[in-house]
Amino acid sequence: MTGLVKRSTGSWYDVLDPLEHRLYKCRLAGKMKLQEKELTNPVAVGDFVEFSVENEDQGIINIVEPRRNFVARQSPRQKHQIHIIAANLDQALLVSTIREPDLKLGFIDRFLLTTEPQDIPTLIALNKCDLWNEEDNELFEGVKKLYNDIGYTVLKVSASRGEGIEDLRSRLSGRTTLISGQSGAGKSSLLNAVHPGIGLRTSELSGYTGKGTHTTTFAEMFETDPQTYVIDTPGIKTLGFNNLEIMDVAHNFREFFLRSPQCRFGSICTHRNEPDCAVKKAIEEGSVSALRYQSYLSICEEIDAQNYWERKKKY
Ligand SMILES: Nc1nc2c(ncn2[C@@H]2O[C@H](COP(=O)(O)OP(=O)(O)O)[C@@H](O)[C@H]2O)c(=O)[nH]1
Ligand SMILES: [Mg+2]
Ligand SMILES: [Zn+2]
């Protein structure tokens, strides 16, 4: 039978039979292999799988169907390995905040680096707008312009006050959306506001740090309306990229890539020390954001440092 993976704990998978609307608890067939050698998990939420029913509500996954796309992160343990968070997505929604916790633009740029390689349309929702003062609202307008200019949609929402929820609901409708963001940003609260029936657990902010405590431990897919799926994910602390090379980063900052044909070294320009770089020129002229460039440099420096230590270990 063909099924849709709704939840994965690493050893068990909840697989939905979409025709009968039944859930099966599945294990992996012993002989199943990883599709690609750099993956740490053979099956992810959103995968379509072939499975055989063992008894009433249990089954065995035999085959994972090829993925249309996926969002992955570097594996926390194995270097250069990646862990698939979710597959077969129509779009991703990054939930972020300006207050509680404070805005981190670098994090937004890092997240976009996980969806851009697979061309997954990404929305950015800045939540908790009920907490904003005038200055915060101005900050929002700035962030909105920055990302609108490079083609991302930015929404102003409040899960508690219900602001922007109707709009968000219509953007999710009929699609499969991965919801992601730092813990405490309000992912679960927003999903509860959009679909009151979903009943996700939310967390109290731990008073001092303003950071959320972990309530969502595994990515989980919910069918909120027919044909509408949302995937709630555990909060992310930091996003590292030991699976990428500098060139991958350069090519996935979309406004940089767009300008690279005008760089003297074209698509192999890393926009750092090369002469006649169109990206650096655009930053000076103000048509590319210096903040995005800072995020870019910080990611590149991290990758350089990792490569340095790895080379050192080898000799
Ligand atoms: N003021 C305010 N607090 C919110 C809003 N949305 C969520 N919160 C609070 O932020 C905390 C974390 O929410 P939660 O949904 O668990 O975040 P998650 O970790 O991203 O899933 C909880 O204490 C929520 O009550 C909002 O729109 N406004
Ligand atoms: Mg949550
Ligand atoms: Zn360049």
The residue assigned the tokens 């990428």 is 244
- CA-nearest residue for atom 1, ligand 1, is 128
Query: Is the pTM here over 0.75, yes or no?
Result: yes
Q: Among the atoms of ligand 1, which is closest to the Cα of residue 158?
A: 27
- Ligand 1 is surrounded, with C-beta below 6 A, by 127-128, 130-131, 158-160, 181, 183-189, 202-205, 212, 215-216, 235
Asked if 15 and 4 touch (Cβ cutoff 8 Å), the reply is yes
Which pLDDT does position 35 carry in this prediction? 60
Convert the pLDDT of each residue in 56-107 to its tens digit: 899 999 999 999 999 999 877 777 788 899 999 999 999 999 999 999 999 9
- CA-nearest residue for atom 12, ligand 1, is 184
Predicted confidence band of residue 204 (pLDDT cuts 50, 70, 90):
low
Asked if 180 and 93 touch (Cβ cutoff 8 Å), the reply is yes
The residues, any chain, with a CB within 8 Å of residue 115's CB and separated by 6 or more, are 71, 92, 121, 122
Which pLDDT does position 201 carry in this prediction? 82
Which pLDDT does position 18 carry in this prediction? 86
- Which range (109-123, 178-192, 301-315) has the least confidence? 301-315
- CA-nearest residue for atom 7, ligand 1, is 186
Report the DSSP pairing between strands 13-17 and 2-8.
antiparallel
Rounded mean pLDDT of the chain?
Answer: 91
Domains and CATH numbers, the chain: 2-64 (2.40.50.140), 70-232 (3.40.50.300), 246-314 (1.10.40.50)
- CA-nearest residue for atom 8, ligand 1, is 186
Asked whether the predicted pLDDT for residue 22 surpasses 80, the reply is yes
* Tokens of residue 3, six digits: 């099924």
Which pLDDT does position 213 carry in this prediction? 44
Judged by its nearest atom, the ligand closest to the C-alpha of residue 246 is 3
Q: Among the atoms of ligand 1, which is closest to the Cα of residue 182?
A: 20
Q: Average of pLDDT values for 12-31?
A: 91
Q: Which of 189, 200, 201, 214 should be mutated for ligand 1, with most atoms under 8 A from CB?
A: 189
30 vs 258 pLDDT, higher one: 258
Q: Among the atoms of ligand 1, which is closest to the Cα of residue 201?
A: 16
Q: Average of pLDDT values for 284-307?
A: 96
Instruction: Tell me the C-alpha distance between 248 and 267, whole Å.
Output: 11
Judged by its nearest atom, the ligand closest to the C-alpha of residue 281 is 3
- CA-nearest residue for atom 14, ligand 1, is 186
Q: Mind giving me the DSSP string for the chain?
A: -EEEEEEE-SS-EEEEETTTTEEEEEEE-TT---SSTTBS-S--BT-EEEEEEEETTEEEEEEEPPPS-EEEEE-SSSTT-EEEEEES-SEEEEEEESTTTTP-HHHHHHHHHHHGGGT--EEEEEE-GGG--HHHHHHHHHHHHHHHHTT-EEEE-BTTTTBTHHHHHHHHTTSEEEEE-BTTSSHHHHHHHH-GGG------EETTTTEEPP---S-EEEEEETTEEEEE-PPBS----TT--HHHHHHHSHHHHHHGGGSTTGGG--SSS-SS-HHHHHHHHTSS-HHHHHHHHHHHHHHHHHHHHHHHHH-
Convert the pLDDT of each residue in 238-286 to its tens digit: 888 888 899 999 999 999 999 999 999 999 999 999 999 999 999 999 9
- CA-nearest residue for atom 13, ligand 1, is 186
Which pLDDT does position 212 carry in this prediction? 44
Question: How many angstroms is it from 214 CA to the middle of ligand 2?
Answer: 7
Which pLDDT does position 217 carry in this prediction? 66
Asked whether the predicted pLDDT for residue 206 surpasses 70, the reply is no
Judged by its nearest atom, the ligand closest to the C-alpha of residue 97 is 1
Judged by its nearest atom, the ligand closest to the C-alpha of residue 126 is 1
Q: Among the atoms of ligand 1, which is closest to the Cα of residue 189?
A: 15
Asked whether the predicted pLDDT for residue 36 surpasses 80, the reply is no
21 vs 91 pLDDT, higher one: 91
Asked if 279 and 260 touch (Cβ cutoff 8 Å), the reply is yes
Question: How many angstroms is it from 158 CA to the middle of ligand 1?
Answer: 9
Which pLDDT does position 75 carry in this prediction? 79
- Which range (8-22, 29-43, 183-197) has the least confidence? 29-43
Q: Mind giving me the DSSP string for 155-220?
A: EE-BTTTTBTHHHHHHHHTTSEEEEE-BTTSSHHHHHHHH-GGG------EETTTTEEPP---S-E
Which pLDDT does position 34 carry in this prediction? 61
Asked whether the predicted pLDDT for residue 130 surpasses 90, the reply is yes
Question: How many angstroms is it from 244 CA to the middle of ligand 2?
Answer: 28
Q: Among the atoms of ligand 1, which is closest to the Cα of residue 191?
A: 15
Q: What is the largest CA-CA distance in the chain?
A: 66
Which pLDDT does position 242 carry in this prediction? 83
